Amino acid sequence: MTEKIDPARLRKARAMLRKSQETAARLLGVTYATYSRWENGHTQPLPDRREKVWRLIHLAERRGED
């Protein structure tokens, strides 16, 4: 998926999963600083991480529908 990650959507997904930025970063295989930059809109995930980020977002959104 090449669609840009919306930082607010990423932040909301992480909150819905009740994970800290540090834990989310670890789950995605990146540093806390990298994850923080994504969530604050300073950078976008590189293609090799973007798919994992989308999976995290979709997981949170599916859980929110329950």
Task: Give pLDDT tens digits for 41-51.
Answer: 999 999 999 99
Global pTM reads: 0.89
**Positive/negative CA dihedral, 51, 26, 64, 12:** negative
Mean pLDDT along residues 32-45: 97
Please give the domain boundaries of the chain with CATH numbers for all domains: 7-65 (1.10.260)
The fraction of the chain above a pLDDT of 70, given in percent, is 95
